[in-house]
Amino acid sequence: MTTPDFATIDWRGRAVRIECQWIAPEKTGAPLIVFLHEGLGSVAMWKDFPTQLCDAAGARGLVFSRPGYGRSTPRADDETWDVDFMHRQAHEVLPALFDALGLGHERPWLFGHSDGGSISLLYASRFPDRVEGLVVLAPHIFVEDVTVENIEKARTAYLGTDLPKKLGRYHDSADSAFWGWNRIWLHPPFRDWNIERELDTIRCPVLAMQGIDDEYGTLAQIRGIAARVRGCELLEIPECGHSPHRDQPDRVIVAATSFITKNRRQIP
């Protein structure tokens, strides 16, 4: 990947700096894959996976850290996220970032993991003509007991282990990243969060993958997407947990590359 860069957007009435990294930007005629990280992720936490996928797919890549994560602007001390926090990322932050980077004319592929997968689905639902296709790994479309139980365990680990130090390697503010994610997922009203109906307006190709041993969700998540999105393809991966790109990277790269190649729009 190239050296980290930053874009500034106006979000919630303040200037927010977004950490970005480009992969093979010189391939101007190649498809663009935008990588959206999980609830505790960042640019650095993807490691070299985006480069490997873009190399295999012959694509350019954009990797970025959402507000509150990585080297992007941390949450303000008094900023709490509400039940619609993923909708705001999809409907406000992502369009603002694309505009700031001069990508308004592009129709990118979105490659999203966990919360990033949910945000990808919400973006494609709201802006069906602005996206070429989706590859989503372990996305959430509703809240399950197993998800909440393991997020509660993560809170216990954050308070009682060296998890803050470990996250500090990847985020300017580990507290910003962790508590923004953890508190909203454990907020009682969030138990009713559900985006199934919004999937009905997705028109692009979708590949949804999930590990059979996913500790943060059951296969009902991706099967629910297939029930709503016509032509959605599923890949249920054995010996794989919540992060298929870490647990089974080769399988994910082969599947994603094949899917993108098969569905790539031919530009005259």
Domains of the chain: 5-263 (3.40.50.1820)
The mean pLDDT of the chain is 95
Rounded distance between C-alpha atoms, residue 192 and residue 238, angstroms: 29
pLDDT (mean) for 185-190: 96
State residue 267's pLDDT score: 46
pLDDT tens sequence across 132-148 = 999 999 999 999 999 99
Q: Give kind and range of the element (H or E) at residue 8.
A: strand 5-11
Could you give phi then psi for residue 198, rounded to 5 degrees?
A: -70, -20
**1 pLDDT above the threshold of 60:** no
First to last CA, the chain: 29
State residue 80's pLDDT score: 86
DSSP states along 23-80: ESTT-TTS-EEEEE--TT--TGGGTTHHHHHHHHHT-EEEEEPPTTSTTSPPPPTT--
Rounded distance between C-alpha atoms, residue 205 and residue 257, angstroms: 13
**191 pLDDT above the threshold of 50:** yes
pLDDT (mean) for 93-114: 95
- CA 264 from chain centre, in angstroms, equals 21
Claim: this prediction has a pTM higher than 0.85? yes
Instruction: Say if residues 123 and 106 touch (Cβ distance below 8 Å).
Output: no
The pair of structure tokens assigned to 24 is: 């093979």
Of the candidates 130, 140, 133, the one whose C-alpha atom is nearest the C-alpha of residue 107 is 130
pLDDT tens sequence across 59-95 = 999 999 999 999 999 988 778 899 999 999 999 999 9
Of the candidates 137, 109, 110, 119, the one whose C-alpha atom is nearest the C-alpha of residue 209 is 137
Give how far Cα 53 sits from Cα of 249, 256, 257, Å.
Answer: 9, 8, 7
Residue 38 C-beta-side C-alpha neighbours within 13 Å: 20
pLDDT tens sequence across 193-239 = 999 999 999 999 999 999 999 999 999 999 999 999 999 999 999 99
